[in-house]
Amino acid sequence: MLKNSLKLFLVIMLFVNWRATKGPTAIKFSVTNDVLYIKIFSQLKVQSFTFSPEVGIYSVWSNGVEILNTSTIALVKFTYSNDSIEVKTFENTIGKFKHLKISSNDENRSFRIKLISPDKKPRFYQDNLILETESGFIKCINEIELDNYIAGVVQAESGKRSYQEFYKVQAILARTFALSHIQKHATEGFSLCDHTHCQVYFGKSMEFEILKAVLETKNSVVVDDNLNLIEAAFHSNSGGETANSEDVWGSKLSYLRSVKDSFSVRMPNAKWERKMAKEDWLSYLKLKHNYPIQDSNALLLAITFKQDSRKQYLEANNIKVPLKNVRTDLQLKSTFFTIIPVGDSLIFKGRGFGHGVGMCQEGAMRIAKLGYKHQEVINFDYQKTQLIDLRKLDFFKDE
């Protein structure tokens, strides 16, 4: 038996089938390690867009029947209409359909989408596209090969001007995250969304260095000492110290331990400030957390709160105010802040950007710039982990 049911895990990842929960006519997906289904424009209510091939000839299918292809048609318009999707070319209205798949058999296939409603800049995607209606809008799902998706995530998360070793780090972590969360949206009919809820993804990467990094790390993932894929968490900047996983999510993971991170302190998102009326801060603490502002010592602590190292709570008289809640409620960049009173106001002097767990992206960029290899960067932020080829997991058995 494989460690921690790895064999079962791989069988599920390779062969499990699941359906969108929209009834018996919903499209059936086969989830594998090689193909993912990513809901794109997941934060938008898409009502109309144009589709045009960039590379390859695409066919539009409905219920197994080809309704048109792009060998002679340069652009197709899709519009939501009465719980169906209307398909038009410049010359003709093709019809209205519940479910559509737009696919190509060309090896290097890619396409362009230009949203009309809402109006957005064009995006380019690889592989295929699936369309359904959902709550008055068009649901767009990019059926895409794993590493094509990974390259897009790396570009969205890292930008176009970074370092080769950092691109490798981001590619490995993006692959690890995708495979460990491949069923995250299964009940909704797709694998992952394209927003921060999963991983940011804006489509095709055309950066040579990113494509090279993805290729050179192909099949490489990060596992813990039990050979489980890790929770590949990352954030923009740690402010000089990362956070323990339990301080943010309540769950303790051996490889997500707080580490001192001097590499991040001079990077762009290392520091921030926020000014707030003292009265607003104290009212928030009292009303939301029942904080004892009537107690003079607790009051003083609340307006002179200090963090030399990361704390989990603002605490007084057995009342604990979770800093992760403060960050969310007040839309602060991080939980790593010190408060300085200035007259009737308070200055929140903050460090870092993000939840603070796992890899600090700006710190990792700095480490890569200094010449460290991607394995060393990963080991710095994720303790007691190792890189492994996904194809070799079957060979690791219980002793």
Residue 107 — φ and ψ, nearest 5°? -65, -45
| 263 three-class SS | helix
Q: 212 lies in a domain?
A: no
The string of pLDDT tens digits covering residues 342-378 is: 999 999 999 999 999 999 999 999 999 999 999 999 9
Final residue in a domain of this structure, among 351, 366, 382: 351
The whole-number pLDDT of residue 9 equals: 38
- Do 143 and 280 belong to one domain? no
Q: 84 lies in a domain?
A: yes
The whole-number pLDDT of residue 161 equals: 77
The whole-number pLDDT of residue 34 equals: 87
- Do 9 and 140 belong to one domain? yes
Final residue in a domain of this structure, among 87, 114, 148: 148
Q: 98 lies in a domain?
A: yes
184-201 mean pLDDT: 93
DSSP symbols for 25-47:
TSPEEE--SSEEEEEESTTS---
- SS3 of 172-187: the string is HHHHHHHHHCCCCCHH
The whole-number pLDDT of residue 394 equals: 61
The whole-number pLDDT of residue 28 equals: 41
The more confidently predicted of residues 6 and 72 is 72
The whole-number pLDDT of residue 20 equals: 33
- Do 10 and 141 belong to one domain? yes
pLDDT at 97 over 70: yes
Residue 292 sits in which domain range? Answer: 271-351
- Give the list of residues 6+ apart from residue 208 with CB closer than 8 angstroms, or none: none
| 271 three-class SS | strand
Q: 280 lies in a domain?
A: yes
Q: 399 lies in a domain?
A: no
pLDDT at 133 over 90: yes
Alpha carbons 168 and 178: distance in angstroms, whole number:
15
The DSSP symbol for 137 reads E
Check if the beta carbon of residue 220 is closer than 8 Å to that of residue 387: yes
89-114 mean pLDDT: 95
Q: 69 lies in a domain?
A: yes
Check if the beta carbon of residue 188 is closer than 8 Å to that of residue 20: yes
Final residue in a domain of this structure, among 116, 148, 180: 148
CB atoms within 10 A of CB 204: 21
Q: 230 lies in a domain?
A: no
The string of pLDDT tens digits covering residues 200-229 is: 999 999 999 999 999 999 999 999 998 999
Both structure tokens of 362? 């700006």
- Kindly state the percentage of the chain with pLDDT values over 70: 90
Q: 9 lies in a domain?
A: yes
pLDDT at 21 over 50: no
Q: What is the mean pLDDT of the chain?
A: 90
- Do 9 and 142 belong to one domain? yes
Give how many domains the chain has, as a whole number: 2
74-84 mean pLDDT: 96
